[in-house]
Amino acid sequence: MAASSAFTGLRCCRSFLRVAGRSRTIRSLPTWSATVSPQPKTIPPLTSLSATAGCAAKIAQVDLVAALAHLPRRADPRLLVGLDTGDDAAVLQLRDDLALVETIDVFTPIVDDPYDYGRIAAANALSDVYAMGGQPVSALSFVAWPMAELGPEALGRLLQGAQAVCDEAGIALAGGHSIVDKEPKFGLAVVGTVHPRDVVTNAGAHSGDALVLTKAIGTGILTTAKKRGLCTHAELQPAIDSMCTLNAAAARAMVQVGVRAATDVTGFGLLGHLGNVLRASSMRGGVPLGARIHCDRVPLLPEVARLATIGACPGGSARNLAFAAPLLQCGDAVDHARRLVMADAQTSGGLLIAVAPERLDALLDSLSRQKVAVRAVIGEVVDSDAAGRIALLE
């Protein structure tokens, strides 16, 4: 859908976007006119209208692998990153000095406030571009909305939230597509750019690399607890703040230093996304790689450990743990609740970075200069008897 028809009622303004070194005039959509809704209405909690929340709505890894096996591979010399390694985004080379980064992320509500839902969904989608070392340049939205139950005012707030994060990222929310549905769904398709030499994939980790995490985990547990009445909004707020934080600064730091591999931690949890890095890197390097994770070094959002012990776990986290279990080794002190936390389905999580040990201090310094609040060294990549084996240590 063209921008002019996608967001009726928006006042457009002109702004400039720098793409591949050139300033280009674009249409941006930063503000709403008063015609969004003449009658604000009381709406039900957004999360009450969906069976799953945020990135926990992802199809289980085992089912996704089985489905993708039916998709024929197409050789394209321009495609630098495609389906083979299950990376965060596709990368298509256009010139010797320019490649496109392409991604799409859509999910059901993870919070009840439409504005925050839009902010979180936008930050989550943009994260894929940052994880590849790229810079986003534009976005299109997709929304499915129960108009009778929620109305246009709430939809307007959702889009305002998404636009606010796009403004922070310096890009236009340039248009989109909408349908009526019983369950709310929202997300962005994002296009970014990167120099081909600066692409950071999930397939470059080496034995001995340090593993650095740039956000605390536990968003799946906290949002599930809120939906079940097991925590307050004040206890949920740190998770909302984390999910709305862009990974732009962490991405700048890792590109400046030069790292071996990276991914963002979202719906497959820390264990699932780390497993993807290990398998992709094993395939690329031709030797099986595993990892050691020191659980006490993994930063958790407040109240997560307590809530995990009383069963506040989304279904996606349990599926993640079941998928990881065959290659998971756990110390005696790592109980089931701790394992679920390590597998917790994140939404708009931080970057998980594999960096050569001699560059670790430089990365931590760069993250600090970029004012990245969380910069935890949580473990290391090791040689293994099987690709993807992860040891959880106390």
The answer to whether residues 53 and 172 belong to one domain is yes
Question: Do 45 and 179 fall within a single domain?
Answer: yes
Which residues, listed in sequence order, are joined to residue 210 by a DSSP beta bridge? 355, 380
Top-confidence residue, 54 or 364: 364
Query: Where among 135, 170, 196 does a domain terminate?
Result: 196
What is residue 256's three-state secondary structure?
Answer: helix
DSSP bridge pairs for 143: 178, 186
Tell me which of 196, 214, 241 is where a domain ends: 196
* pLDDT at 55 (0 to 100): 53
Instruction: Supply the CATH number for residue 332's domain.
Output: 3.90.650.10
- Note the pLDDT tens digit of each residue in 151-185: 999 999 999 999 999 999 999 999 999 999 999 99
* 267 secondary structure, DSSP code: T
Task: Give the confidence band of 59 by pLDDT, cuts at 50, 70, 90.
Answer: low
Provide the pLDDT confidence category of residue 61 given band limits of 50, 70 and 90: low
Number of domains in the chain: 2
β-bridge pairing 98-107 and 22-32? unpaired
Catalytic residue among 12, 13, 55, 231: 55
Domain of residue 151, residue span: 3-196
Residue 3 CB neighbour total at 10 angstroms: 18
Mean pLDDT of 246-271: 96
55 is catalytic: yes
Beta strands of 9-155 (E only): which ranges? Answer: 10-19, 22-32, 79-81, 90-95, 98-107, 135-145
pLDDT at position 60 is 67
3-state secondary structure of 382: strand
Give the N- to C-terminal CA distance of the chain in Å, as an integer. Answer: 51
Q: What confidence tens digit (pLDDT) does each residue in 190-206 have?
A: 999 999 999 999 999 99
Q: Pick the residue with more confidence: 43 or 52?
A: 43
Rounded to 10 deg, the angle between the 315-324 and 61-68 helix axes is 70
Residue 188, classed as helix, strand or coil, is: strand
The Cα 248–Cα 133 span in angstroms is 9
pLDDT of 20 over the 70 cut: no
Q: What CA–CA distance (Å, rounded) separates 281 from 203?
A: 4
Exposure of 21 by Cβ count < 10 A (0-12 exposed, 13-18 middle, 19+ buried)? exposed
Give CA–CA dist 324/334, Å, rounded: 15
Q: 153, 185, 187, 154: which is closest to 173 by C-alpha?
A: 187
pLDDT at 7: 43
Report the percentage of the chain scoring pLDDT > 90.
Answer: 76
> Where among 138, 163, 196 does a domain terminate?
196
25 and 87 inside one domain: yes
327 shares its domain with 216:
yes
Q: Strand pairing partners for 391? A: 292, 329
Q: Identify the weakest region by mean pLDDT among 249-253, 312-316, 367-371.
A: 312-316
Chain segment 213-238, per-residue pLDDT in tens: 999 999 999 999 999 999 999 999 99
- β-strand 185-194 against 172-180: which pairing, if any? unpaired
**252 and 151 together in one domain:** no
Same-domain status, 192 and 205: no
Regarding whether 206 and 129 lie in a shared domain, the answer is no
Q: What is the pLDDT of residues 286-337, one digit of tens each?
A: 999 999 999 999 999 999 999 999 989 888 899 999 999 999 999 888 999 9
- Sign for the pseudo-dihedral over CA of 27, 30, 34, 35: positive
pLDDT of residue 58: 62
Same domain for 184 and 205: no
Check whether residue 274 and residue 387 sit in a common domain.
yes
Q: Are residues 360 and 263 in the same domain?
A: yes
Residue type, 209: D
Q: Are residues 75 and 215 located together in one domain of the fold?
A: no
Instruction: Kindly state whether residues 270 and 365 are assigned to the same domain.
Output: yes
Residue 123's CATH number:
3.30.1330.10
